[in-house]
Amino acid sequence: MPPSTDIAIIGAGPQALTLVTHLLQKKAAMRNRFVVIDPAGAWLHQWHHQFGALEIPHLRSPAVHHPDPHPSALRTFAEGRPDELFPPYALPSTPLFRDFCQSVIERWDLADRVLAGTVQHLELCQKMGRQRFRLSFADGRQLLTRRVVLAIAGGTPQLPAWARQIPQTYPSERLRHSSQIDLRGLSLQGQRILIVGSGLTSGHLALGATARGAQVIMMARRQFYAKLFDAEPGWLGPKYLKGFHAEPGWPQRWQMIQQARNGGSVTPAMLLRLRRLERQGQITFYEQCEVQRAEWKGSAWRVQCSTGVDHSCLTDLPIDRIWLATGSQLNVEHWPLLADVRAHYPIDIVNGLPVLDEHLRWPGCNLFVMGGAAALQLGPVARNLFGGRLACDRIVPALVKPSLGRSRTAATLTA
């Protein structure tokens, strides 16, 4: 690791890869002015792990959404593998997307650009009268950098209140959040599994569990419903974004984001498969139903639920495992890495999301934010692959021309 660098990009997921390719396309001379830092020391490690752990066969995003600057690059790459683009919008298979991203990494000569390390502290400091960031790593190393880009997911598992109240007297593998589950290697024959949540993750878990011989109960506070994408396609362009950007109120924008994503949904193809398994007796749906209490007794869970429909049978039904497909919660006020920045440059934060400037920069310093934390500026698709492209449109010009937009204040910001 060098002692100092111009730009430190923290995270090596698809959004970070998107940023790097767009930066190099804009200005090739930037190649030696940045480092990418990730605990795994490799591109897309967590992304590939999550897709493998949940046995996800293909992406939910169409083939035009990917880390390369050229929109048609994935379709061109897939010309010899047409069976791996799934209808109705050419959704790439997981292996196809993995191989394509590897080709992007090789084509842009980025294979050795990720440094292995876990950044524990990010501090503002002065070097020769100029503002710098000092990154401190878990192993004691330090890196001085002029600019930082946070390209991390940053969400923490969202656990229902009843789950947080359960005493830790049960075997840990019997209650898991979806982020802790790896279907590969699990033996579930004859077990009864309660999956809580109505999103696509719950569907993947249900398919994986039934394929391993388990009986599955799928429970959600709402009806399970189908939607092709987690936000309507109009959010990928001016159709909806124009109105979003015209809204001056940050709380109102936050509400628009919640309404656009509208909680968890599954794809029409997924719902079809789940209903088929229901008819075959492998899945039972408990809709408009919520766990009130769960207690570990002997070798199984005893669960009480609250619903307008009588599901009292669940109370006497022993449950072997509970899986929580309840999503994650993003709140930058809980990000340890931002503690020093927030102390020096306090800004408005709306329900966990920061009010950044038009270049997704933290007002007052050269720290940029990508991903879901930039949603107040980018809209409800900020965390998605296309959100990475939208973020690049904002961040890359400011990285190439550092003086761009400097000295704007939070009070005068526009999106």
Query: 358-397, pLDDT tens digit by residue?
Result: 999 999 999 999 999 999 999 999 999 999 999 999 999 9
pLDDT at 316: 84
pLDDT at 1: 81
Are residues 210 and 314 located together in one domain of the fold? Answer: yes
Domain for residue 189, yes or no?
yes
pLDDT at 404: 73
pLDDT at 40: 97
Q: Give residue 280's Cα distance to chain centre.
A: 33
Domain with 313, as residue range(s), is 157-227+265-326
Q: What is the mean pLDDT of residues 195-203?
A: 97
User: Could you identify the residue written with the tokens 């396309």?
Assistant: 25
Q: What's the count of helices (H) and strands (E) in the chain, helices before strands?
A: 12, 20
Q: Could you give the percent of the chain with pLDDT greater than 90?
A: 87
CATH of the domain at 149: 3.50.50.60
Overall pTM surpassing 0.75 (yes/no): yes
3-state secondary structure of 396: helix
pLDDT at 88: 87
pLDDT at 369: 98
- Point out the domain boundary residue: 326, 350, 368: 326
Q: What is the mean pLDDT of residues 95-110?
A: 98
Domain for residue 195, yes or no?
yes
With cut-offs at 50, 70 and 90, classify the pLDDT of residue 127.
Answer: confident
Are residues 165 and 136 located together in one domain of the fold? Answer: no
Q: How many domains does the chain have?
A: 2
DSSP 216-238: EEEE-SS---B-SSSS-GGGGSH
57 pLDDT exceeds 70?
Answer: yes
pLDDT at 198: 96
pLDDT at 314: 85
pLDDT at 312: 57
* CA 102/CA 318 separation, integer angstroms: 45
Task: Work out the angle between the directed axes of helices 94-107 and 45-53 (0-180°, nearest 10).
Answer: 170
* pLDDT tens digits along 336-367: 999 999 999 999 999 999 999 999 999 999 99
Are residues 286 and 389 located together in one domain of the fold? Answer: no
Are residues 141 and 273 located together in one domain of the fold? Answer: no
163 pLDDT exceeds 90?
Answer: yes
* CA 113/CA 96 separation, integer angstroms: 23
Domain for residue 49, yes or no?
no
* pLDDT tens digits along 269-279: 999 999 999 99
pLDDT at 407: 42
Are residues 39 and 126 located together in one domain of the fold? Answer: yes
With cut-offs at 50, 70 and 90, classify the pLDDT of residue 177.
Answer: very high
Domain for residue 215, yes or no?
yes
With cut-offs at 50, 70 and 90, classify the pLDDT of residue 411.
Answer: very low
pLDDT at 3: 92
Domain for residue 147, yes or no?
yes
pLDDT at 238: 86
408 pLDDT exceeds 50?
Answer: no
pLDDT at 309: 57
Residues 6+ apart with CB under 8 A from 15: 151, 370, 371, 385, 387, 388, 391
Q: Which amino acid appears at position 156 of this protein?
A: T
Enclosing H/E stretch for 207: helix 200-211
pLDDT at 36: 98
Are residues 278 and 355 located together in one domain of the fold? Answer: no
Domain for residue 146, yes or no?
yes
Domain for residue 339, yes or no?
yes
With cut-offs at 50, 70 and 90, classify the pLDDT of residue 128.
Answer: confident
160 pLDDT exceeds 60?
Answer: yes
Q: What is the mean pLDDT of residues 238-261?
A: 95
Are residues 215 and 272 located together in one domain of the fold? Answer: yes
For 135-167, b/e burial (b = at least 16 CB within 10 A) is bebeeeeebebbbbbbbbbbbeeebeebbeebe
Return the sign of the alpha-carbon dihedral for residues 96, 102, 105, 108: negative
Are residues 278 and 201 located together in one domain of the fold? Answer: yes
3-state secondary structure of 327: coil
Q: What is the mean pLDDT of the chain?
A: 93
- Point out the domain boundary residue: 274, 303, 326: 326
DSSP 259-280: HHH-S--B-HHHHHHHHHHHHT
pLDDT at 308: 54
* CA 231/CA 200 separation, integer angstroms: 13
Looking at the DSSP assignment, which residues form a beta bridge with residue 234? none
pLDDT at 310: 52
Looking at the DSSP assignment, which residues form a beta bridge with residue 3? none
Q: What is the mean pLDDT of residues 175-199?
A: 97
* pLDDT tens digits along 267-317: 999 999 999 999 999 999 999 999 999 999 999 999 998 865 555 568 889
Nearest to 57 by CA among 15, 92, 102, 89: 92
pLDDT at 313: 67
pLDDT at 307: 66
Are residues 375 and 286 located together in one domain of the fold? Answer: no
- Point out the domain boundary residue: 302, 326, 350: 326
Q: What is the mean pLDDT of residues 86-96?
A: 95
Are residues 124 and 204 located together in one domain of the fold? Answer: no
3-state secondary structure of 194: strand
Are residues 138 and 190 located together in one domain of the fold? Answer: no
* CA 153/CA 329 separation, integer angstroms: 10
Domain for residue 235, yes or no?
no
Are residues 213 and 288 located together in one domain of the fold? Answer: yes
